[in-house]
Amino acid sequence: MKKLQYLVAGGAGFIGSHLCEELLKLGHRVICMDNFLTGTPSNIERLRNHAGFKLIEHNIVETIRAADPVDYILNLASPASPIDYAKHGIHTMKVGSIGTLNLLGLAREKKAKFLLASTSEVYGDPEIHPQREDYWGNVNPIGPRSVYDEAKRFAEALTVVYAKTHGVDTRIVRIFNTYGPRMRLEDGRAIPAFISQSIRGEEVTVFGDGTQTRSFCYVDDLVRGILKLCETEFHEPVNLGNPNEMTLDELAKAVIRLTGSKSKIVHRPLPQDDPRRRKPDISRAKKVLSWEPKVKFEDGLRTTIEWFRSVIKPAKFVGH
């Protein structure tokens, strides 16, 4: 197999760090670019001494200069949780627009292939189920989630028009809910929140009545799909996710059971524009990539819980 040089923007993030690690295992060279706004230095600590790894601390909204040759550019740079993009709304939109434009420009300069990590959030609160790539979505353009949803929709449009105008070899992956080790503890998403609360013996907070659904893909399966997409000549968006749908109440109960916690589930009001259902149609991924998830949900969840146990401690009860 030919050894290539990959630039992974957002390489210190949850998914980005797993991608960097897998690429190095395959013998490729990796340039990790991250400004650590939401990425975590500890995610790539084990990679820093690897001969094929290079870290560039940089904000992709600013002009990007890279002296090294680059074969692939993977754009995973963006705040990706509701807490993060609510806090960094303008930056999220800049990353999706200016940042994507800068990376596409670099791909053109280096004659590199380009992959955009988009999201299932481009479908908004979907009116069709499951979600196919030809569905245009149901997005509130001025709602609290719009800074992320519309940034990714714009990034997709920019990627497509840049490819048509300048001939850059592009790919687009729409990532559905993904979980695994290295998720940030306080990023506000369901799995890290439920696991953290359960381990600490706190109430497990479910927003809404708990009947809204999600589909969770283990990070190893996702990384495998992304790398398969890199190897193809397919240029339209491809959904990657696990089509096994569950309610958030079912997820909370599974986490409590697997952690051995005595935590109770409590319900809080559902945030505005929170999707009621989320499930990928992965027919295209099966056909084009010969890809589908392999890791069973509970197996992945057990591994994730063990990682969380290694980084947090249960709360101690102080008597009076």
Torsion sign over Cα 118, 92, 214, 22: positive
**Residue pointed to by tokens 């992974």:** 8
Q: How far apart are CA 237 and CA 173, in angstroms?
A: 6
Strand-strand pairing, 178-179 and 204-207: unpaired
Nearest Cα neighbor of 204 from 266, 258, 255, 268 is 266
Structure tokens at 125: 């609160």
Q: How far apart are CA 28 and CA 79, in angstroms?
A: 26
The b/e string for 239-255 (b: 16+ C-beta within 10 A; e otherwise) is bbbbbebbbbbebbbeb
Our CA dihedral for 158, 159, 163, 165, rounded to 10 degrees, sits at 10
Structure tokens at 16: 């980005």
> Count of CB atoms within 10 A of residue 24's CB?
18
Residues 6+ apart with CB under 8 A from 293: 217, 218, 221, 241, 242, 244
Task: Write out the catalytic residue numbers.
Answer: 148
